[in-house]
Amino acid sequence: MKDQPIRRIMTPDPVTVTPADTAAAAFAAMRTARCHHLPVTENGILVGMLGSADLVKALIPPAHHEDPLTGQALLQARRVDSIMSRRLITLPQQSSMLDAVTALAQGGFHALPVVAPGNVLVGIVTSTDLIDALHDALVHPLADARQLLDPAEQAAPPSPQADAALHELYRAVGHYLHSGRGDLEHGRLLATWGRAREHLESRNTPF
């Protein structure tokens, strides 16, 4: 799983705003897209990131203002470029899931723009995307392995050896669960699991 390309779980062509947009427009875009992070772009080039926390800060009125604005009026008066983050942590489009985990583990942010050369935005990956991928891999490891393959690889039929190994593993698990004597079936289960794993590894199938 860790070596899977980030494009498998990223959101391509995410909703964006421009530096000249108002904070109110950004807030509306977040609500419509049901997201908490918006890349800020100019002509497709990533120039900043805007999070929901930035919008909260935008609601703080300036100090010592004779007639301070509040609420929607304050968001309407602020531009994205005045509240966005210019400190960009990005992922190249050829990055792996492990690269994303390593970057997010640094803390301080929960979304990573994915860029092509020239800082051209191609997608975004969030901590939620990674958690969902981990959940799927743990709950449905074999199904997840097939889904993470490229479409051409998914279409390729499994080898007869892999089919036989998986069928044997399925039967061993059935015996283990239903025999009522799991201690006696444990060795058989481990042996068939090892053979199935060897066949999957020989086909470079992730699991």
Query: For the chain, which domains are there?
Result: 6-136 (3.10.580.10), 141-202 (no CATH)
CA angle centred on 42, ends 40 and 46, rounded to 5°: 50
Half-sphere exposure of 48 (CA within 13 A, CB side): 19
H or E element in which residue 19 lies? none
Inter-residue contact 141 to 1 (CB < 8 Å): no
Convert the pLDDT of each residue in 129-154 to its tens digit.
Answer: 888 887 777 666 555 444 544 454 44
**Rounded to whole angstroms, how far apart are CA atoms 22 and 176?**
61
Report pTM: 0.64
Residue whose token pair is 């009522």 = 180
Inter-residue contact 36 to 55 (CB < 8 Å): no
Mean pLDDT on 27-31: 94
pLDDT band at 157 (very low <50, low <70, confident <90, very high): low
Pick from 183, 126, 120: which is nearest to 134 by CA? 126
**Residue 60, SS3 per DSSP:** coil
**Rounded to whole angstroms, how far apart are CA atoms 100 and 62?**
37
Average pLDDT along the chain: 77
Supply the DSSP string of 63-77, one letter for each residue.
Answer: TT-SS---HHHHHHH
pLDDT band at 24 (very low <50, low <70, confident <90, very high): very high
